[in-house]
């Protein structure tokens, strides 16, 4: 196990103490800001979100398909996160007065969208396209894991170049029938993938300009 505070943390702590001597209460604010800053949060950890949205309750308990909220995945490079108007289609009837949903009601009333923090975020020099994958037999679970079991979404893959290329070189074991793209808990097999690869003529490109344009 590594030390709970790294060298950078030490520096921040010293800065905070210095600030404490200089301006009392300000230091507390500084420490609180630091605890929430990306310097402190590790990659792969869950993020604080404006609303405690829980995929388990929506996907697993209520059986709502990914498509209902992330339909853009079939028609654009990004899967997108739904606007609060869509949430209110249900939440005008369900948990109408819940304090957990106060920011959602406020957003709909003011027209100000919620600022969800991104969990998956590739560098700008990488081009990724959801549509190209979900229409060719790569399921959500293959890249995002059992989202139906996550209280808060976290990454399950490195999203690094080697990860992309490993599959582009040998996609067959990762392909599933198109009517099971959003299904959770039934990963595809190589035999099944073979059929899909042949039927759809799947050949992911590996040249650099596929992902760097
Ligand atoms: C009722 C609407 C709803 C449904 C259904 C839903 N999601 Fe989401 N999803 C959201 C919202 C809202 C967020 C943003 C908050 C968060 O990150 O948890 C999100 C975030 C995500 C993220 C993280 C986005 C990022 O920032 O990187 C992934 C991945 C994801 N959803 C996958 C899925 C998958 C896979 C399914 C189906 C198994 C699914 N979602 C079903 C509403 C939904
Ligand atoms: C298709 C209907 C539907 C949609 C759309 C929907 N919800 Fe829900 N949501 C529910 C139901 C049903 C529950 C109650 C779950 C339970 O108690 O098991 C719930 C519960 C919640 C809760 C309470 C905490 C929890 O998980 O139990 C929050 C917060 C929430 N939803 C936020 C959202 C947000 C934000 C959106 C839009 C991105 C959204 N919901 C869209 C049906 C929906
Ligand atoms: C081949 C892998 C792969 C598949 C399949 C995939 N995703 Fe993603 N997803 C990613 C990557 C990579 C990102 C980050 C994209 C970026 O930063 O530009 C991402 C980002 C997201 C986001 C954040 C918003 C956005 O679009 O950037 C959501 C929501 C999401 N995925 C949901 C889904 C859902 C739902 C499915 C299935 C219908 C799915 N994804 C299928 C790899 C995948
Ligand atoms: C689990 C397998 C898998 C992973 C992981 C994966 N891909 Fe793909 N990718 C595919 C398949 C399958 C296709 C569709 C090939 C076809 O249409 O013949 C594809 C197609 C694409 C395309 C469209 C290519 C074109 O011009 O038709 C892009 C861009 C792409 N992938 C980028 C990425 C990036 C960037 C990553 C990593 C962040 C990634 N992929 C991860 C399987 C994968
Ligand atoms: C299938 C998608 C894909 C293809 C094809 C691809 N890359 Fe990448 N590349 C990525 C992703 C994703 C990253 C971001 C990695 C990260 O964030 O760690 C990346 C990062 C990089 C970087 C930054 C340094 C690094 O390793 O993070 C360089 C340089 C690079 N790629 C060069 C290339 C060259 C040259 C080729 C052709 C031989 C190529 N890439 C083909 C997806 C791809």
CB 76 within 8 A of CB 125: no
Q: Return the pLDDT at 138.
A: 98
Q: Is 167 in the pocket of ligand 4 (CB under 6 A)?
A: yes
Q: Look at residue 44 and tell me whether its pLDDT is greater than 90.
A: no
Residue range 25-51: mean pLDDT, rounded: 52
Mean pLDDT of the chain: 85
Tell me the C-alpha to C-alpha distance, in Å, between residue 39 and each of 33, 35, 93, 147: 10, 8, 40, 26
CB 171 within 8 A of CB 193: yes
Looking at per-residue pLDDT, the higher value among 30 and 156 belongs to 156
Q: Return the pLDDT at 56.
A: 96
User: If pLDDT is split at 50, 70 and 90, which confidence band does 47 have?
Assistant: confident
Q: Return the pLDDT at 11.
A: 42
Sign for the pseudo-dihedral over CA of 7, 12, 18, 24: negative
- At 152-177, the pLDDT tens digits run 999 999 999 999 999 999 999 999 99
The CA dihedral of 169, 174, 177, 178, to the nearest 10 degrees, is -70
CB 53 within 8 A of CB 117: no
Q: Return the pLDDT at 48.
A: 87
Residue range 177-201: mean pLDDT, rounded: 96
Count Cβ neighbours within 10 Å for each residue of 143-172 and write b for 16 or more, e otherwise. Answer: bbbebbebeebbbeeebeeeebeebeeebb
Residue range 66-90: mean pLDDT, rounded: 96
Which atom of ligand 3 is closest in space to residue 66's alpha carbon?
Answer: 35
Question: What is the token pair recorded at 121?
Answer: 């975020």
Q: Return the pLDDT at 45.
A: 59
Q: Within 10 Å of residue 82's Cβ, how many Cβ atoms? A: 16
Residue recorded with tokens 């073979």: 194
Residue range 31-38: mean pLDDT, rounded: 40
Q: Look at residue 186 and tell me whether its pLDDT is greater than 90.
A: yes
What are the sequence ranges of the domains in the chain? 7-36, 55-110, 130-210
Q: Is 103 in the pocket of ligand 2 (CB under 6 A)?
A: no
Q: Look at residue 142 and tell me whether its pLDDT is greater than 80.
A: yes
Q: List Cβ neighbours of 95 (8 Å cut-off, separation of 6 or more).
A: 101
Rounded CA separation 12/210 (Å): 41
pTM flag (> 0.75): yes
Q: Look at residue 3 and tell me whether its pLDDT is greater than 80.
A: no
Q: Is 47 in the pocket of ligand 1 (CB under 6 A)?
A: no
Looking at per-residue pLDDT, the higher value among 26 and 91 belongs to 91
Residue recorded with tokens 């829980």: 54
Count Cβ neighbours within 10 Å for each residue of 25-62 and write b for 16 or more, e otherwise. Answer: eebeebbeeeeeeeeeeeeeeeeeeeeebebeebbbee
Q: Return the pLDDT at 98.
A: 95
Question: What is the token pair recorded at 91?
Answer: 């939440």
Please give the span between the terminal C-alpha atoms of the chain, in angstroms, as a whole number.
41
Q: Return the pLDDT at 37.
A: 40
Among 82, 86, 91, which is best to mutate for testing ligand 2, by the most ligand atoms less than 8 A from CB? Answer: 91
Q: Look at residue 209 and tell me whether its pLDDT is greater than 80.
A: yes
Q: Is 54 in the pocket of ligand 2 (CB under 6 A)?
A: yes
User: If pLDDT is split at 50, 70 and 90, which confidence band does 31 have?
Assistant: very low
Q: Is 196 in the pocket of ligand 4 (CB under 6 A)?
A: no
């Amino acid at each position: 196990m590594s030390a709970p505070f790294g060298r950078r943390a030490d520096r921040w702590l010293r800065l905070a103490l210095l600030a404490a001597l200089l301006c009392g209460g300000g230091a507390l604010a500084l420490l609180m800001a630091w605890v929430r800053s990306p310097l402190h949060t590790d990659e792969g950890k869950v993020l604080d979100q404006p609303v405690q949205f829980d995929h388990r309750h929506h996907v697993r308990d209520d059986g709502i398909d990914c498509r209902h909220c992330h339909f853009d995945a079939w028609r654009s490079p990004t899967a997108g996160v739904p606007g609060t108007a869509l949430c209110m289609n249900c939440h005008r009837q369900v948990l109408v007065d819940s304090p957990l949903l106060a920011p959602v009601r406020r957003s709909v009333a003011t027209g100000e969208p919620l600022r969800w923090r991104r969990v998956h975020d590739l560098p700008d020099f990488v081009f990724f396209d959801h549509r190209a994958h979900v229409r060719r037999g790569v399921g959500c679970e293959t890249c995002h894991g059992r989202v139906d079991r996550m209280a808060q979404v976290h990454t399950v893959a490195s999203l690094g170049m080697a990860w992309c290329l490993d599959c582009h070189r040998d996609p067959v074991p990762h392909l599933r029938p198109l009517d099971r793209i959003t299904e959770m808990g039934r990963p595809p097999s190589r035999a099944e993938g073979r059929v899909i690869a042949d039927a759809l003529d799947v050949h992911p490109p590996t040249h650099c300009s596929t992902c760097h344009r």
